[in-house]
């Protein structure tokens, strides 16, 4: 934690998984945060994405994928727990930082200067940050968010944590907060490759019982009909929860397979290529959807579904034959 506490937002270099050359340089706030945190701790980030094979279509959205806390502990010795908030948020965070933890807080993106041009001082949005340092006297905070590491201060600090001497109103809700306990110097060494392969096999047994991209295709006509009744700015909300989650999920799976290949797992080329195809096609479909909403015509979008669904069958079929079960375990409806 001493290393995290001295990180400088001005000199921080984002992890390669946040490179702008990728199809989806940002995924969602929770996964992006852990990419940066795990990377800053010096661990192999790509090892943790076996869980992406469990993504499903949930009827109105693709799963908002998050790294399971059990995987983080098995791979890196990181223990993520909920932190009860019953007094001043600032004081709770300071206590845990003093104990060598990282604190994850759901905050309002309205006060995050790194979201300039999106939500900063424009709209109120829920997002998660990973706090590593507070200077209460200077009202300054260092935090991981999305694809990098940042600082905020002054009025933004007050917006996130409350102004000095301010009291919480009786009807205000406390935010949801977690904290990450880091492994001690004496913790046993973890065989990351062996654990990652075991986790991938486990998650393949938890994969959807049917192809989620085909399921999305079956719902697409109804989704497009609804989009036709919405204002143009609704596109961003819809795309984030559908095509971005799908594409980013499978690009991270491709990175996981490339990492396994670098560590001696041969024969994953077809599965990796199929995962990349899903990521790239979802990005292209998102661009096409934006243009469709602008002109009010939605024809041709369904042509993306069949190739992506076939690519899904390839990647999941190959991985199941190699690492997992022939058929998934029963899933809750």
User: What is the pLDDT, as a whole number, of residue 34?
Assistant: 97
pLDDT at 172 over 90: no
- Tens digits of residue pLDDT in 269-311: 999 999 999 999 999 999 999 999 999 999 999 999 999 999 9
0.75 cut: is pTM over it?
yes
Q: Give dist(CA 126, CA 196) in Å, integer.
A: 31
User: What is the pLDDT, as a whole number, of residue 333?
Assistant: 46
Work out the pLDDT band at 325, boundaries 50, 70, 90: low
User: What is the pLDDT, as a whole number, of residue 318?
Assistant: 97
Mention every residue, 6+ apart, whose C-beta is less than 8 A from residue 79.
69, 72, 73, 180, 181
Q: Give dist(CA 161, CA 166) in Å, integer.
A: 10
End-to-end CA distance of the chain: give it in Å, rounded. Answer: 41
Strand partners, 181: 79, 101
Mention every residue, 6+ apart, whose C-beta is less than 8 A from residue 25.
18, 19, 147
* Beta-sheet pairing, 148-153 with 177-181: unpaired
Q: Give dist(CA 219, CA 196) in Å, integer.
A: 34
DSSP tag of 62: B
Domain boundaries, the chain: 2-42+79-181, 192-322
């Amino acid at each position: 934690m001493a290393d995290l506490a001295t990180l400088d937002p001005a000199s921080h270099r984002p992890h390669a998984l946040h490179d702008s050359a990728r199809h989806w340089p940002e995924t969602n706030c929770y996964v992006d945060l852990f990419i940066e945190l795990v990377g800053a701790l010096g661990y192999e980030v790509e090892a943790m994405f076996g869980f992406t094979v469990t993504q499903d279509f949930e009827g109105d959205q693709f799963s908002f994928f998050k790294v399971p806390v059990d995987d983080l502990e098995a791979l890196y010795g990181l223990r993520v727990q909920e932190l009860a908030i019953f007094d001043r948020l600032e004081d709770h965070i300071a206590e845990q930082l003093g104990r060598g933890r990282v604190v994850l807080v759901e905050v309002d993106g309205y006060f995050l200067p790194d979201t300039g041009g999106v939500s900063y001082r424009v709209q109120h949005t829920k997002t998660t940050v990973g706090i590593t340092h507070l200077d209460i006297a200077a009202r300054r905070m260092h935090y991981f968010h999305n694809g990098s590491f940042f600082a905020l201060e002054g009025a933004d600090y007050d917006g996130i944590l409350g102004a000095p001497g301010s009291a919480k109103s009786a009807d205000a809700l406390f935010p949801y907060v977690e904290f990450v306990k880091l492994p001690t110097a004496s913790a046993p060494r973890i065989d990351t490759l062996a654990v990652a392969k075991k986790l991938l096999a486990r998650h393949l047994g938890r994969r959807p019982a049917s192809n989620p991209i085909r399921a999305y295709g079956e719902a697409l006509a109804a989704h497009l009909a609804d989009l036709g009744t919405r204002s143009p700015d609704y596109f961003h909300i819809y795309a984030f929860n559908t095509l971005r989650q799908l594409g980013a999920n499978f690009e991270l799976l491709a990175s996981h397979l490339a990492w396994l290949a670098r560590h001696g797992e041969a024969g994953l080329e077809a599965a990796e290529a199929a995962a990349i195809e899903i990521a790239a096609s979802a990005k292209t479909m998102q661009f096409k959807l934006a243009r469709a909403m602008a002109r009010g015509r939605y024809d041709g979008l369904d042509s993306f579904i069949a190739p992506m669904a076939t690519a899904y069958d390839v990647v999941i079929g190959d991985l199941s034959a190699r690492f997992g079960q022939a058929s998934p375990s029963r899933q809750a409806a």
